[in-house]
Homo-oligomer: A and B are copies of this chain.
Amino acid sequence: MYKIGEFSKITGITVKALRYYDKENIICPANRDESSYRFYNEDSYKRALMVKQLRTYDFSISEIKDVIKMCVSDYDFNYVLSEKISLIEAEINEKRKLVDKIKDAKKLKSEEKVMHDNRVIIKDIPSMKVASMKYQGRYEECGNYISQMTKKLGGKIAGSFMNLYYDLDYNENANVEVCVPIKKEYNDKDIQCRQVGAIKAVTYIHQGGYDTISQAYKKIFDFVKENDIEIGLPSREVYHKGPGMIFKGNPNRYVTEIIYPIIEND
């Protein structure tokens, strides 16, 4: 039996870490006497060596808990190590991409991104029949819904996909309704059909990737303020030209129309 200080020395794990591992139930002392001292034995020692090893391999505490639950044999253990290697390699890839991105930014710095300077326009948008799916989450998730709907609706689709947004702000957990105009009624447990009303709206055509789309919102907001117009929700993004199902294409060629309904007070 070892007291915590000794155990710390023979395992190379700090006392603080040992108390934490006890609390987290990954290395528990073999017993605790009435004075509440922790006493460790040979089994705790083996466990401690494993935990220490995994920590140096950058396993998190919850990953280690998983390993403890799952790994009965050396075979299991080796398999987990392979999985961890894959995870780390994925992280390396992310970092590589980031480096490339920064390098690109450095190059493009002087050229500046071509900002298409389109005009904000007021126009009437007619009512239309759409198929729609609502969700709450990140903007990028809409791709999943678009591909689902494309598959299910097939030839019934009669226009470009568009998203309706029910939040004013930029939100990682946004309320989104993915819509597409359709010719015929279609019903499904996941897909609803409804009429989207006619509106008078301010609109702006954004050309380029979605990473620069916030600039387009600025155009609209500035216009609205200058002209003392009041706008409402939901706003829309109509994807006239966007990525395909398989190929992304050149984002510089994407065309997105942003639409805000005008509220008329009179």
Contact = CB atoms under 8 A, between A and B. Distances in A.
Interface of A: 2, 4-6, 8-15, 45, 53, 56-58, 74, 77-78, 81-82, 84-85, 88-89, 91-92, 95-96, 98-99, 101-103, 105-106, 109-110, 168-172, 213-215, 217-218, 221
Question: Which of A57, A91, A99 gathers most chain B CB within 10 Å?
Answer: A99
Counting every copy of the chain, the complex holds 2
A98 B88 contact: yes
Given A81-B106, A85-B99, A169 B8 contact: yes
Given A58-B98, A85-B102, A218-B45, A13 B170 contact: yes
A34 to B, nearest CB: 21
A15 B174 CA distance: 12
Contacts of A172: 14
Given A81-B106, A92-B96, A109-B78, A14 B170 contact: yes
A175 to B, nearest CB: 14
12 contacts: A2-B221, A9-B221, A10-B214, A10-B221, A11-B170, A15-B170, A57-B102, A57-B105, A81-B102, A81-B105, A88-B98, A91-B95
A6 B168 contact: yes
B105 A85 contact: no
A51 B148 CA distance: 36
A12 B214 contact: yes
A47 to B, nearest CB: 14
Most B-side CB within 10 Å, residue of A6, A45, A170:
A170
A174 to B, nearest CB: 10
A57 B98 contact: yes
A99 B109 contact: no
A137 to B, nearest CB: 14
Contact of A170 (B9, B102, B221): B9
A172 to B, nearest CB: 6
Given A12-B214, A170-B13, A92 B95 contact: yes
Contact of A9 (B2, B13, B53, B217): B217
A214 B6 CA distance: 11
A45 B222 CA distance: 12
Nearest to A172: B14
A9 B82 contact: no
A6 B221 contact: yes
A212 to B, nearest CB: 9
Nearest to A52: B214
A168 B95 contact: no
A172 B57 CA distance: 19
